[in-house]
Structures are given as structure tokens and as C-alpha cells.
Amino acid sequence: MQSMKKHAKIMFCYFRLNLASAMEYRASFFTQAFGMALSNSSFIFFWWIAFRQLGGTIAGYSFYDILFIWSVTSSAFGLSHVLFENVNNLSQLIITGELDTFLLQPCNILVNMLCARTSLSAYGDLAYGFVLMALSHGADASAWGWFLTGTLIGGFLITAISLTAHTLTFYLGNASVLGQMTTEFVINFSIYPDKIYGTALRVLMYTLIPAGFIVHVPLRLAREFSLGTLALLLGAAAVYGVLSGLLFYRGLRKYESGNVIITRL
């Protein structure tokens, strides 16, 4: 319990320091936030046109459903990158040996490493989701509840997915490109109705790259609550989180044995 308190304090301290450090770049923050809002809005524009021409639903999703999954994706992505941005740096840390700095400190290595960086533009993503929700779903309390659920679980899952991808650096060498591609997949799985994809990809998005649990399951729960589905959502997130953590610790043992070095003749 005391350890949890200590780690909570450490996380909060990182949060404060990250924000202060990122303020150095606040000039470009506004351009980045603007750019991101513009990008996202052009997709929303597309969907507005599509629904206007076709009406009804596309792959079972209405225009409001699309707005919901966009909001959750944006905020979940934002949350993950505000709190745990350093996961995207993990491959570099492993290769350069900078991971050692974190290992030398009396703190849980995952907490210490993940929280050490933030992305200023991610604050924009986080805010955008809330703004979009407000504009599209007004005061619909149920929708907001599932939006927040999706954001929290989504932020957690996005971090876990990136962690898994970058953990492969322990085993295969520089996996930072894989990490980037995985993020692409997660985004593409999350911003379109899940049924547009074939069976193989749908299996993928509910197992290895569980983007389905970030937006689509919360949407189903928002439409029609079911205790079973909720249990599935929480269970899947927990299981995936634990597995990704275990994979990381296993890789870390390899790192600590010094067997992660690949030399060239």
C-alpha cells in the first residue's frame, strides 16, 4: 500500500515536470493542435457527406456512432500519450542502454520508464475528444459514461499495445518501425466501423491488437448495456495488460543478462 502511494506520488511528480518541460514548445503546440483538429475534422466532414448522401447506417453505424468512436479514439490516444509517451521511445532506450538509468532507481521500472516523457500535442487530442463529444452528444449522460470508460480503458490498452510492440526490441532488435506501424493499425481499426473489415482482421482487432475494446465495445455498451459485455471489456483489458507486462519483464531479464547485443562482423 505504501508502495502504491509512493508510485502515485512519483507519477504525479513526473506529470508536473513533463508539463513544465513541454511548455518550452508551447508556441508550436497551438499549430500542432490546430493541425490535428483540422485533420480530424476533415474526416468528420467526409462522414457527414457520406451519411447525407446515403442516410441511415454504414456497416451498422450511424453518424452519431461515428462521432462517438472518433471522440473515444482521440481522447484515449491523447490520454496514453500525455501520461505514458515514453513507451514510444522504448526501442531507443533498449538499444542505447539508456534503460539502465531507470533500472538504477528504486522505483517500479514500468512506472519509471513509461511516465518519463509527455507529448504536448496529445493534450490537444485529449481535449478534441471531449469537445467532439460535447458537440455531438450534448448532455447524454449514458453516452458520456461510456465515453469516459472507453477513454480510460483505451488509454491503458493503447499504451499496452505499444509496449508489446516495442518489447520485441529485446528479442528481435530495433522494433521502433513495428511500433509505429502498430499505432497506425490501432488508429485505423478505431476510426472506422469494425464491420468494414474482413473476419481475419476482426479477429486481430480483438486479440493481438485489441483496438476493438477501445471504441467498438464501449459503443455497443452505450447502445445496449449488458453485464456480460462489460465483464468481457474489463477482463480483456486486464488480461492483455498483464500479458504485455509479463512479456516486458521477460524481455527485461534478457536485457539484464546482457544478451540483447547484436554485433556485426
By the 8 A CB rule, do 120 and 26 touch? yes
User: Which residue in 112, 119, 149, 182 binds another protein (CB under 8 A)?
Assistant: 112
Query: Closest separation between CB of residue 140 and another protein, Å?
Result: 25
Q: For another protein, which is the closer residue by CB, 180 or 230?
A: 180
Q: Which stretch binds another protein (CB under 8 A): 138-146, 160-168, 182-190, 226-234?
A: 182-190
Give 41-96 as a DSSP string: HHHHHHHHHHHHHH-S-BTTB-HHHHHHHHHHHHHHHHHHHHH-GGGGGHHHHHHH
Q: For another protein, which is the closer residue by CB, 93 or 233?
A: 93
DSSP-assigned letter for residue 106: S
How far is the first Cα of the chain from the last one, in angstroms, to the nearest whole number?
50
Query: Closest separation between CB of residue 178 and another protein, Å?
Result: 11
Please give the single-letter amino acid code of residue 106.
P
**By C-alpha distance, which of 243, 112, 90 is closest to 166?**
90
Query: Closest separation between CB of residue 225 and another protein, Å?
Result: 26
User: Which residue in 142, 184, 203, 238 binds another protein (CB under 8 A)?
Assistant: 184
By the 8 A CB rule, do 146 and 221 touch? yes
Radius of gyration of the chain (CA): 19
H or E, element range at 175: none
Please give the single-letter amino acid code of residue 250.
R
Site map (CB under 8 A) of another protein, residues 189-208, x = contact: ---xx-xxxx----------
Provide the CA 97 distance to its chain's centre, in angstroms. Answer: 25
| 256 in contact with another protein (CB under 8 A) | yes
| 156 in contact with another protein (CB under 8 A) | no
| 19 in contact with another protein (CB under 8 A) | no
Task: Write out the binding residues for another protein, residues 21-80 only, by CB under 8 A.
Answer: 21, 24, 27-28, 31, 34-35, 38-39, 42, 45-46, 49-50, 52-59
By the 8 A CB rule, do 107 and 10 touch? yes
| Backbone region of residue 64 per phi and psi (left: phi > 0; alpha: psi in -120 to 50; beta: other values) | alpha
User: Which residue in 95, 107, 127, 204 binds another protein (CB under 8 A)?
Assistant: 107
Q: Which stretch binds another protein (CB under 8 A): 62-70, 93-101, 132-140, 238-246?
A: 93-101
List residues binding another protein (CB under 8 A): 6, 9-10, 13-14, 17, 20-21, 24, 27-28, 31, 34-35, 38-39, 42, 45-46, 49-50, 52-59, 97-98, 100-101, 103-107, 112, 177, 181, 184-185, 188, 192-193, 195-198, 253, 256-259, 261-265
